[in-house]
């Protein structure tokens, strides 16, 4: 079974702190993604990566950056956390393939910024 893990299920940080969310997948997938999920808005793509050291902006990249130094690991960084970044963050991965290949998701990190 594909396994995508995220470093924390719950996280509480203060405004202005630098926050790291880590995601690891064990299936040698090329593509990895970070989403945030807010009630009534569904999932919105923050960043994605299709290879080591490669990254692409998603729909809402402002206030975030990412790092992919190893194929299995994709990190989301909040340089200076703000209260409007309180949200559920989901990581996903998939092989580099056709339109029918699903993304596999981690359990999510619920981040609260005070």
Partner 1 sequence: AQKITQTQPGMFVQEKEAVTLDCTYDTSDPSYGLFWYKQPSSGEMIFLIYQGSYDQQNATEGRYSLNFQKARKSANLVISASQLGDSAMYFCAMRELLYNTDKLIFGTGTRLQVFP
Which positions touch partner 1 (CB under 8 A)? 9, 31, 33, 40-45, 48, 50, 58, 88, 90, 92, 94, 96, 98-100, 102-108, 110
Nearer to partner 1, 11 or 43 (CB): 43
Q: How far is the CB of 67 from partner 1 (least distance, A)?
A: 19
Could you write out the three-class secondary structure of the chain? CCCEEECCCEEEECCCCCEEEEEEECCCCCEEEEEEEECCCEEEEEEEECCCCCCEECCCCCCCEEEEEECCEEEEEECCCCHHHCEEEEEEEECCCCCCCCCEECCCEEEEEC
Q: How far is the CB of 28 from partner 1 (least distance, A)?
A: 16
Q: How far is the CB of 99 from partner 1 (least distance, A)?
A: 4
Nearer to partner 1, 51 or 79 (CB): 51
Q: How far is the CB of 72 from partner 1 (least distance, A)?
A: 17
């Amino acid at each position: 079974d594909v396994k995508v893990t995220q470093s924390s299920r719950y996280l509480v940080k203060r405004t202005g702190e630098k926050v790291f969310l880590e995601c690891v997948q064990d299936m040698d997938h090329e593509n990895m993604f970070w989403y945030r999920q807010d009630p009534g808005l569904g999932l919105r793509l923050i960043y994605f990566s299709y290879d080591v050291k490669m990254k692409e902006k998603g729909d809402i990249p402002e206030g975030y950056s990412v790092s992919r130094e190893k194929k299995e690991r994709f990190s989301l960084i909040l340089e200076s956390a703000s209260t409007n970044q309180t949200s559920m963050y989901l990581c996903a991965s998939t092989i580099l393939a056709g339109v029918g290949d699903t993304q596999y998701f981690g359990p999510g990190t619920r981040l609260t910024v005070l």
